[in-house]
Amino acid sequence: DAGVIQSPRHEVTEMGQEVTLRCKPISGHDYLFWYRQTMMRGLELLIYFNNNVPIDDSGMPEDRFSAKMPNASFSTLKIQPSEPRDSAVYFCASSPGTAGNTIYFGEGSWLTVV
Amino acid sequence: AQSVTQLGSHVSVSEGALVLLRCNYSSSVPPYLFWYVQYPNQGLQLLLKYTSAATLVKGINGFEAEFKKSETSFHLTKPSAHMSDAAEYFCAVRAATRGGADGLTFGKGTHLIIQP
């Protein structure tokens, strides 16, 4: 199994630019999660989907952030416009349907906004 | 709502010594508990999980954890530390919901340092 695949792995962008992070979950998993990791705030759940439908986006920091899941094999997290405080590692993760199942993480997208 | 508290942001042990990483949780429903490990510049890898079967759970790399409901704890242990165990360790809780499940709520993490 290829695991959760994220792209890009690293991105450096200028403040004000649009950033799009991409994720391909493990085939057959019906939950998809977006997390953000920073030194100050640790691992934060931004949003998660069940069967391509957003269930809880209460962790999305502000309107500059948006996430979509147009089909079961693809999701995007977009930041527009980006700010230096958005610099972080963004993880995508997926799992099968119940709470006892393991959530599998991608390798992360390392974002630096200058 | 769920929360996790990891005592000690940094733990240092000698190679060959016992590793003990502490985790306490709070959950309004029966919890599912997880320990993940993160090596530098990598993603998170599952070490072990508690899903209401056996209270003593064995994981990869010689780690184990015991679920103690009375103490709301899920501490991670390893009898003998190895240099390769140096990493960041995260305890996390997940709850079942009426429609399925929610996401993981993580503790702040514990950085494990192994002294030669």
* Predicted pLDDT of residue B87: 97
* Predicted pLDDT of residue B95: 85
Is a pLDDT exceeding 70 seen at residue B93? yes
Is a pLDDT exceeding 80 seen at residue B43? yes
3 state SS for B37-100: EECCCCCEEEEEEECCCCCEEECHHHCEEEEECCCCEEEEEECCCCHHHCEEEEEEEECEECCE
Is residue A41 left, alpha or beta, with left meaning phi > 0 and alpha meaning psi from -120 to 50?
A: alpha
The answer to whether the CB atoms of A43 and B95 lie below 8 A apart is: no
* Predicted pLDDT of residue A20: 98
* Predicted pLDDT of residue B111: 97
* Predicted pLDDT of residue B53: 78
Could you say which residues of chain A have pLDDT below 50? Answer: none
* Predicted pLDDT of residue B96: 81
How close, in Å, is residue A70 to chain B by CA atoms? 20
The answer to whether the CB atoms of A102 and B46 lie below 8 A apart is: yes
B34 touches chain A (CB under 8 A): yes
